[in-house]
Amino acid sequence: MPNNAPRRLRVLTWHVHGNYLYYLTQANHDFYLVTKPGSPPGYAGAGGVLPWGANVHEVPADQVASQEFDVILFQHKTQWDDDRIDVLNDEQRHLPRVYIEHDPPQENPFAQQHWVNDPKTLLVHVTHFNQLMWDSGETPTRVIEHGVVVPEGVRHTGEKERGVVVINHLRQRGRRLGSDIYADVKNHVPLDLVGMDAQSAGGLGEIGNLDLAAFTAQYRFFFNPIRWTSLGLAIVEAMTIGMPIIGLATTELATVIRNGESGYIDTNVPALIDVMQRLIRDPSEARRLGDGARKVAMERFHIDRFVKDWDETLRYVAT
């Protein structure tokens, strides 16, 4: 009997955003992660606590040129500018290639040209907002929205009469990530901040990837004070377990949350404070909004849709 199963592709990529990479590797292909001694940022391979599958492999940077791949999947400017030249061989530089852009433009919100600017590379944006704001030049683009996996059986309980904020390095990243908004709101609403170096901003510290969903599930709501970013995976994960989302009506979040149905978004921070105070007093309303958030997440951010989109995209560029 002939085997009609589609051929698995060999995809070379880098470890840039751990959770995103884990979700990406749910696709039925083999992923090879570039590593360097000491695991500097971007070269950590399959390290950490995430339960990587058997389809995830490591390849030292100095051995990449001797390997065969079907697709090169860039995820950071350094990889495009430097590794494309220094790590890949000439044949690999001409393989089908994809660049995942995880962020909106940082230098100019509407006029910054993306550095790829190559008609033979597919630029994948993770939100429609990002695609809208980047000037992609001659580079073809498409959008693949997030898809997430949360631990089996973890659901929002909301017994803590507090909100939770999940941001890495909030103090260091400052105003763009809403450090001032967080500090202001905390004067009016009980909030706990978690994430890398959260202590420096008065937070609790970092919670491990595998424990984050169960930890946040205790809180009454999830608050996102970020002014300018992509759509955070932590928000999508919180929605998936049934948490109501409160946040700024900016970037892609404005298309995700409907006021009174899955949470509240606004550009008026005092109005958001009023909503958060109301949810502290009314756990049943928080549960209702959380149910709405989970419904949106299951319809829009299901891992099966994400995997299907990525499988189609990788096969498209590889043909």
This prediction has a pTM of 0.95
Q: Point out the least confidently predicted range of 130-134, 191-195, 207-211.
A: 207-211
Mean pLDDT of 5-25: 95
pLDDT digits (tens, 9 = 90+) for 41-75: 999 999 889 999 999 999 999 999 999 999 999 99
Report the distance separating Cα 98 and Cα 315, nearest Å: 11
CATH topology classification for 10-147+302-318: Rossmann fold (3.40.50)
∠ CA 282-287-289, rounded to 5°: 100
Gap between the Cα atoms of 64 and 86, Å rounded: 10
CA 310 – CA 316 distance, rounded (Å): 10
pLDDT tier for residue 131 given thresholds of 50, 70 and 90: very high
**What is the CATH class of 160-300?**
alpha beta
Instruction: Report the share of the chain in percent with pLDDT over 70.
Output: 99
- 280 HSE (CA, 13 A, CB side): 15
pLDDT per residue as tens digits for the range 290-301: 999 999 999 999
* CA–CA distance, 185 with 293 (Å, rounded to integer): 22
Residue spans per domain, the chain: 10-147+302-318, 160-300
Q: Residue 15: what pLDDT?
A: 97
What is the H or E stretch that residue 300 is in? helix 283-300
- Provide the angle, in degrees to the nearest 10, between the axes of the packed helices 269-281 and 283-300: 110
Share the mean pLDDT of the chain. 96
Is the pLDDT reported for residue 3 higher than 80? no
Average pLDDT rounded to a whole number, residues 114-119: 97
Percentage of the chain lying above the pLDDT 90 cut:
97
Q: At what angle do helices 283-300 and 233-240 cross, to 10 degrees?
A: 110
| CB distance 293 to 239 below 8 Å | yes
Question: Do 10-147+302-318 and 160-300 have matching folds?
Answer: yes
- DSSP structural state of residue 76: S
Residues 84, 116: Cα–Cα separation, whole Å = 11
- In this predicted structure, the answer to whether residue 2 has a pLDDT above a threshold of 70 is no
Residue 230, pLDDT above cutoff 60: yes
